[in-house]
Amino acid sequence: MTRESAIHYAEDLVDSGTFKTGLARLIAMPTESQNPGRSEVLEEYLANGIRPMLEELGFTCTRLTHPSAEAPFLFAERIEGDQLPTILGYGHGDVVRGLDASWTPGLSPWVLTEVDEKCYGRGVVDNKGQHAINIAALKSVLETRGKLGFNAKFLIEMGEEVGSPGLRELCAQHRSLFMADALIASDGPRLARELPTLFLGTRGAATFDLTIDARSGGHHSGNWGGLLSDPAIQLAHAISTIVSPTGRILIDAWVPRDIPASVRRALSECVVDGGSDGPSIDPDWGEPGLSRAEQVFGWCSFDVLAMEAGDPATPVNAVPPRAWARCQLRFVVGINPDDIMPALRRHLDRHGFNMVAVTDVDGISHATRLDPEDEWVQFTARSIERTSQRKPVILPNLGGTLPNDIFAEVLGLRTIWVPHSYPGCSQHGPDEHLPLDILRDGLRLMTGIYWDLGEMRDAIRGDVFEEPPVFLRAEKPTVSCSHSPNY
């Protein structure tokens, strides 16, 4: 049997409806991790949804828990040989709230529905559909070749949408269990619908509140205006010292010294365009002198997510007693995460805004980035190009945030993500959907990657690598994290 046979098998899983039947069973489980009443469903997803799929492929499955986690984990492994490369896969079966009433009539978050070559349902891209595609690709290789040719491990969590509580501690506790040569997983969107994409890490995120509590209550603006400080005005001015009128960050500790050469090279051919489903990009916003791709994937961004003063629904003639803003910094490797909040405090105090309280929200997730020129990245990119006849886009990191820092920092893994979604998928909103062309393409690409992983030893002859693969040379990956002094 050949590589092409495996890919044809994968295509038939889609064309025959077999894949969609299995995905429909997963979508039907309302695994809302933000809903306290769904704990039994989270368990059911692992026990009756994913576990049978993996056990059918010869995986040994173990349910794992940790005291710091409210939701369970499923670990699965199929070990074919001590000298073979080992790949860790990852996915999350939990989803955000269904928002049932907001979906287009005829659609439901819990019923997989195909309309106009798109599959609708909550989790169809985030993330049930994406890890289901990868499991189906493993099946395609096994059914064709009779073996994978590498060792496969899989970790499914059920709390990603609430911040992955316990995942870091679980990985630290079971580090030897999860050890692998690389993480190859799927989440997030492609750069564009028609472009196969790799991303190698994520930007970090720091979310925090800025608050001014001036007094216990409001006071008549006619009698007291001009005598009492206005927290809304003060907070607006405080924010204006953090970011310019065109979105340029003004705190030195919040911007990288430069963009590494290998990152610039990887981004030089990337075009950021949301297409007809995306918003129009504001050309004069953000750090000047950078391409759009460098702004999103190579630099930091600051946003005010929400603001409030007084009673916005029913304003009254009173000086408000309080003003509040929820803000967020998305940052890349090169920013010290331990200094983000202290740097903000120093900055506000230096500009005379000591009345502004700063409160961290949900901690800080670290930025990570695998070198785009790492051999495993190039191996994966060549495999994708071989399958699709298209050169994939290589993003050094996603603009958003995933728990990638846990895999990079705690486990020390190369992290390679192959997303099976696109920017217009309505992720987290009503009418979340996965176009059939991406589903089919993603399953083809992953089948090709898994097939090629099983032939890595043949690559020593020069078919894929100019030198022996790194797993045979026992070299450590060039993985940079937000706390790392390297790049």
Res 403 pLDDT > 50: yes
Work out the burial of residue 270: count CB atoms within 10 Å of its CB; fewer than 13 is exposed, 13-18 middle, 19 or more buried.
Answer: buried
Mean pLDDT score, 261-265: 94
Which tokens in the block code for residue 103? 């979906």
Taking only the tens place, the pLDDT of each residue in 71-118 is 999 999 999 999 999 999 999 999 999 999 999 999 999 999 999 999
User: Which listed CATH number (3.30.565.10, 3.40.1030.10, 3.30.70.360, 3.40.50.720) goes with 204-256+300-365?
Assistant: 3.30.70.360
In contact, 403 and 206? CB cutoff 8 Å: no
Q: Which tens digits make up the pLDDT trace of 266-292?
A: 999 888 876 676 788 899 999 999 999
Distance in angstroms (rounded) separating the CA atoms of residues 302 and 481: 20
Instruction: Note the pLDDT of residue 401.
Output: 83
The Cα–Cα gap between 430 and 109 comes to 8
Express each pLDDT in 451-487 by its tens digit.
Answer: 999 998 655 334 444 444 544 444 555 567 765 544 3
Q: What percent of the chain has pLDDT over 70?
A: 93
Q: Strand runs (DSSP E) across 332-379, as ranges?
A: 357-365, 368-370
According to CATH, the topology of domain 3-202+367-481 is: Aminopeptidase (3.40.630)
Q: Decide if 403 contacts 254 (C-beta within 8 A).
A: no
Three-state secondary structure call for residue 96: coil
Residue with tokens 């098998």: 9
Q: Where are the domains of the chain?
A: 3-202+367-481, 204-256+300-365
Whether a cis peptide bond, with omega within 30° of 0, leads into 397 is no
Q: Shortest CA distance to 378 belongs to which of 290, 265, 273?
A: 265
Assess contact for 465 and 459: CB atoms under 8 A. yes
Find out whether 214 and 318 touch, Cβ atoms under 8 Å: no
pLDDT of residue 273: 77
Q: What is the average pLDDT score of the chain?
A: 93
Label residue 69 exposed, middle or buried (CB < 10 Å: 0-12, 13-18, 19+): buried
Bridge partner list, 95: 32
**DSSP letter, residue 47:** I
- What letter does residue 395 receive in the DSSP assignment? E
pLDDT computed for residue 475 by the predictor? 52
Closest CA to 190 of 281, 91, 270: 270
H/E segment holding residue 327: strand 322-331
Q: Do domains 3-202+367-481 and 204-256+300-365 have the same CATH topology?
A: no
Q: Is 206 within 8 Å of 328 (Cβ atoms)?
A: yes
Q: What's the rounded Cα separation, in Å, for the pair 411 and 415?
A: 10
